[in-house]
Chain A
Amino acid sequence: MTQPVDDDALLAGMAAGDRAAAASFVRRHAGAVTGVAFHVVRDRALAEDISQETFLRAWRSAGTFDPRRGNARSWLLSISRNAAIDVVRVRQASPVSPEHLTDLLAAETSLSAPDDRLVAEADAVEVRRALDRLPDEQRRAVLLAAVAGRSAAEVGRIEGIPLGTAKTRIRAALMRMRDSLEVEARRGV
């Protein structure tokens, strides 16, 4: 069996203008990138447009990507998420149920490489476990902000709470999740 090529190597190839590397990179991450955009914009066609723009931005910036500062997948997903947020803040944001957002977290993924799939599934399980440990109000706030791409002000409006409270909930939830994930990582779960 062929071994999957490292994302950093694919990005390096893209920086050198290699279309085959770009095709592999896009094929590998298209589902995740489109998924992140879709959960923010709630429109499949628009999510695909954002996904395409995400890959073009990544390709343009591939030459400046430094793997020592973070992994390529996170970098790519943050581009997608920010692009989707930019779009949704220009348009009228569609209503979203915080309870429904939990279902958007993957129990499994459709990554092409088995190793990647295992890692992603394990990560998803850890994230869900960390979310489950949060109080309901914090979980809703962080899902609205992080997954649905809502601003703190929008979270406040949706939840019927002041802006400061919304920020506090989001920040507290993110920090608690971070602690939980670190604990999980130390346990080697």
Chain B
Amino acid sequence: MAYEDCSQYRSEAVDLVLGDLPGDRRAQVVAHIEGCRGCSREVAALNATLDALSAATLPVEPRYGFVEGVLAAAERDPALAALTSAEARWVPEAAGAGWVAAPGVPDHPVRAASGRPRREARRPVAVVMRRRRTLLGLTGLTILLAVLAAGSGSWVFAGSAIAFAVLDVAYLGLVMAVTHLKAREELTGGLAADDGWWRQLVPAPGRSASPDPAAGAAPVPALTAVAPVSVDDLALARFVLSYFTGWLLMPVVALIAVVRGDLTGVEQSPVLGRIVALQRQGRSQSLRLLAAGATTVAVASGGTLAAVVAPSMASAATAVPAAHAAAAPAAAAPSGPAAGPYAPSSTFSAASTDLTVTYLAQLSPVTDEAASGSPSPAAPPDTARPGADRH
């Protein structure tokens, strides 16, 4: 298109970028610009300069709690409420930005970062209950078999009691290891909420990470790095401070709610709004910490008890048949039960103790790591974060 034909449109390009054109005229100018490379370039230049001016203006920090206000407004927005309440799985096409999740990246971190949907929220409790039932079952069977062995003097019961004791301790070790890693993951998620799975995104196959050269767009950085996320001491300190502040402010917020009737509109007050926001933030940290910590402590405590009780019961059970055998040597043939397929009681005790020590040794990298803060070699990269397991 000749330049002369464009003079009027170029004059109106300023109105267009400043938003001054009425709808009908705007449509005509846009239609022209879309078909005219020269005018399109000029409008792009004007827009780019406007953008530069906007980006250079002095920022004005909004009130405290603004972010929470936006999220709350999003929940009230029908379109966004539907989006955020749906199963927050990664849908590449919905993103529309040319990125997909890396193959093999589990969807759990996405839900962990976004807050699990209500239906999913019960799953951890169900898992804990199932583990607890299994542990109780194994321990109960061990005790039952030990009692039977003590009562009957049967080596079969004694052997079974030892086998179940070993199984109990092994299962306990596995649960402790898994729970500990999950707890660390939860805490790390809380400490580094701004990070995580995003950097595991890679360019979609068949799509270039670079901009379309014909479009003349600014270069887009490719997201290829899968760097481990680290949590520094400052983040940890913030987390701990926020956690304790949340608890400390709980009675204050309760008092505010009692005096005011409710907390609606409390954010309008700079002081009260800040107190409530701090308490809410701390409470969210508390819930995260409690969910992760309580599971670890409960399972570890129960497990430690079982680890102490079960081998002792097994040892006691093995001691009884041996006592029976010693008390009635004449009644037994030389090749009787005492000389059967199992070794004497002292050997049983030693065997079960060795096994217990072996399993505890297998657990020790996790507990040692918790104490020292050094990552376990077996831990996945994104959970091996210094300071992330200090709970």
Interchain CB contact under 8 A, B94 and A16: yes
- How far is it, in angstroms, between the C-alpha of A127 and the C-alpha of B53 when the chains are bound? 7
- Interfacial chain B residues near A70, Cβ < 8 Å: 51, 217-218
Q: Is the CB of B199 within 8 A of A175?
A: no
Does B104 count as interface, using CB distance less than 8 angstroms?
A: no
Check B55 against A74 for contact (C-beta < 8 Å): yes
Q: Does B20 contact A (CB under 8 A)?
A: yes
A22 touches B70 (CB 8 A): yes
> Of B20, B73, B98, B192, which is within 8 A of A52 by CB?
B73
Q: Is the C-beta of A105 less than 8 angstroms from some C-beta in chain B?
A: yes
A69 and B215: CB pair below 8 A? yes
Total A-B contacts with CB atoms under 8 angstroms apart: 260
* Contact of A77 with B11 at beta-carbon distance under 8 Å, contacts A44-B60, A48-B62 already known: no
Residues 9-61 of A contacting B (Cβ, < 8 Å) = 9-13, 15-24, 26-27, 30-32, 34-36, 38-39, 44, 47-48, 51-52, 55-56, 59-60
B95 contacts chain A at the CB level, 8 A cutoff: yes
Q: Which residues from A are CB-within-8-Å of B95?
A: 11-13, 15-16, 62-63
Interface of A is mostly: helix
Contact residues on B (Cβ < 8 Å of other chain), bracket: 35 or more
Contact B113 A20 (CB under 8 A): yes
CA separation between A170 and B19, bound complex, in Å?
A: 13
Asked whether A39 and B98 contact (CB < 8 A) given A9-B198, A20-B114, A52-B69, the answer is no
Question: Which residues does chain A contribute within 8 Å of B48, judged by CB atoms?
Answer: 178, 181
Q: How far is the CB of B33 from chain A (nearest CB, A)?
A: 15
- CB-based contact A32/B15 at 8 Å: no
Question: What residues make up the interface of A, taking CB atoms closer than 8 Å to B?
Answer: 1-6, 8-13, 15-24, 26-27, 30-32, 34-36, 38-39, 44, 47-48, 51-52, 55-56, 59-60, 62-71, 73-74, 77-78, 80-82, 85-86, 103-106, 109-111, 120, 123-124, 126-128, 142-143, 145-147, 151-153, 167, 170-171, 174-175, 177-178, 181
